């Protein structure tokens, strides 16, 4: 996942961390890349990331059934300040496998275990609705740029 405005690359891993990498410009490309790791937000493997440039927010989803929000406006000196970045926590610890966010950063579509998709309002942290229909785990989802269609 890339933030071209701030030259950042985001990655997640089974080591339960989210990394922010500063992408060097062409002049500095051969120098060492700087990165910052964020741990202790999830208790299981992180499987999904979604980024909203409009809201300047990053979201991570994990097998622990939680979606965590990181406000990049508050990012400084290797720390993300947030009271509790959890915007969704599954009551049944349903694992999260994929996510996508609309361009405004207000609606986050999340694929959870047991073949469901949920749409979350990132501001209110409310679940807007659920979609059911697949017979296995949904591994990849996208919201169209206009926010009117979901591609599964």
Q: Is 6 helix (H, G, I), strand (E, B) or coil?
A: coil
Q: 124 Cβ partners below 8 Å, 6+ apart?
A: none
Please tell me the distance from the alpha carbon of residue 108 to that of residue 123, in angstroms, as a whole number: 10
Identify the structural domains of the chain with CATH numbers, from first to last: 2-151 (2.130.10.10)
Could you state, in chain order, the average pLDDT of each consecutive group of 10 residues for the chain (152 residues)? Answer: 84 90 68 68 92 88 91 56 68 87 90 85 89 85 83 74
Q: How far are the Cα atoms of 29, 82, 120 from residue 98, in angstroms, in the given order?
A: 31, 23, 13
If one counts every other C-beta atom within 10 angstroms of the C-beta of residue 35, the result is 13
The reported pLDDT for the residue numbered 76 is 47
Q: 57 Cβ partners below 8 Å, 6+ apart?
A: 51, 69, 70, 71, 72, 105, 122
If one counts every other C-beta atom within 10 angstroms of the C-beta of residue 59, the result is 29
The reported pLDDT for the residue numbered 81 is 39
DSSP state of 28: G
The reported pLDDT for the residue numbered 78 is 41
Whole-model pTM?
0.83
Among 101, 102, 95, 100, which residue's Cα sits nearest to residue 136? 95
The reported pLDDT for the residue numbered 88 is 86
Cα 86 to its chain centre, rounded Å, is 11
The reported pLDDT for the residue numbered 132 is 84
The reported pLDDT for the residue numbered 77 is 39
């Amino acid at each position: 996942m890339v933030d071209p405005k701030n030259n950042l690359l985001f990655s997640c891993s089974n080591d339960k961390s989210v990394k922010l990498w500063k992408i060097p410009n062409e002049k500095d490309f051969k120098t060492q890349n700087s990165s910052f790791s964020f741990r202790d937000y999830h208790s299981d493997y992180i499987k999904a990331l979604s980024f909203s440039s409009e809201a300047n927010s990053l979201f991570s989803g994990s097998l622990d059934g939680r979606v965590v929000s990181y406000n990049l406006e508050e990012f400084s000196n290797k720390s993300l300040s947030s009271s509790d970045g959890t915007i969704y926590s599954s009551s049944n610890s349903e694992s999260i496998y994929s996510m996508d966010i609309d361009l405004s950063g207000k609606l986050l579509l999340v694929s959870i275990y047991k073949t469901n998709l949920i749409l979350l309002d990132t501001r209110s942290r409310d679940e807007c609705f659920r979609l059911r229909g697949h017979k296995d785990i949904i591994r990849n989802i996208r919201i169209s740029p206009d926010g009117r269609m979901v591609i599964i």
